[in-house]
Amino acid sequence: MTNEEYYAFIQPYADASEVLLARLNVLKHNLYSESFGQPVHNIQHRIKEKESMEEKLAGKGKEPTVMNAKDYLQDIAGVRVICYFVGDIYNLADALKRQADLIVIRECDYITRPKANGYRSYHIIVGIPVYCLDGMEYFPVEVQFRTMSMDFWASMEHRILYKMERDDREKLAAELKEYAENLVQIESRFEQYSDGHNVWKETAANDGT
C-alpha cells in the first residue's frame, strides 16, 4: 500500500467518522432534559495509521493492500466516547442504534461481561452512509463507549503492560485486574448520582434485562 493509496483509501472513512461525530454531538445535547447534565465527558476520534493497518493485516495473514484493508478491517475509523456513568453509556448506545439509516454491524458488551484481564467497555461497529457523486456506500466506524474510570484503567493498563519492558508482567496483570474490580465498586457508588440512572433502569426493566 503506497502513501497515495492510503490517503485516498481513508477519505470515506474520515467522512463517515465526521458524520458519526455530528450525530453523537446532537445526542450529547439532547439525550436528557435540560434539567439533567450532559452524559458525555469528551469524545475522541482517530483514523488508523498506514503502518498500523499493515501490521494488523499481517497478523491476519493478509497482504497489506487497500482491498484487504477494506475487506478485513472494521476499525479503520474509530471513535471513543467517554461518559460519566454506566447508565449514560447504555442510553447513548441505544439512542444511536435507533437511528434508522445506520447499520449495527457488531457489538460487544464488555461492561456486563468484562474481558479476563479486567477490561471494561461497550464496543459497537456501525455502518455509516457516505454519499458520493456515484451513489451511497456504508463505511464501518468502531465506537468505544467508556466511563472515565474505564478509560483511566485501560490507558494505564496499556501504558504499564505494553509500553514498558517488564519482568513481572504476570504479577502486574493480576494487580491491574484487582484495580479494575475496585473501580467497578467505586463506579457503582457514583452511579446513584447519575441523571440518567432512572432512565437506564426503566429501559432495562422494559427490555427484561
Q: What is the pLDDT of residue 203?
A: 46
Domains of the chain: 3-204 (3.30.460.10)
State pLDDT tens for residues 34-77: 667 788 999 999 999 999 999 999 999 999 999 999 999 999 99
pLDDT at 197 over 80: no
pTM of the model: 0.83
State pLDDT tens for residues 136-188: 999 999 999 999 999 998 988 887 777 566 677 788 888 888 889 888 888 88
pLDDT at 200 over 60: no
Q: What is the pLDDT of residue 145?
A: 97
State pLDDT tens for residues 69-119: 999 999 999 999 999 888 899 999 999 999 999 999 999 999 999 998 999
Q: In the structure, what pLDDT confidence band is assigned to residue 206 with cuts at 50, 70 and 90?
A: low
Q: What is the pLDDT of residue 170?
A: 80
The closest of 110, 94, 121 to 202, measured between CA atoms, is 94
Q: What is the pLDDT of residue 97?
A: 94
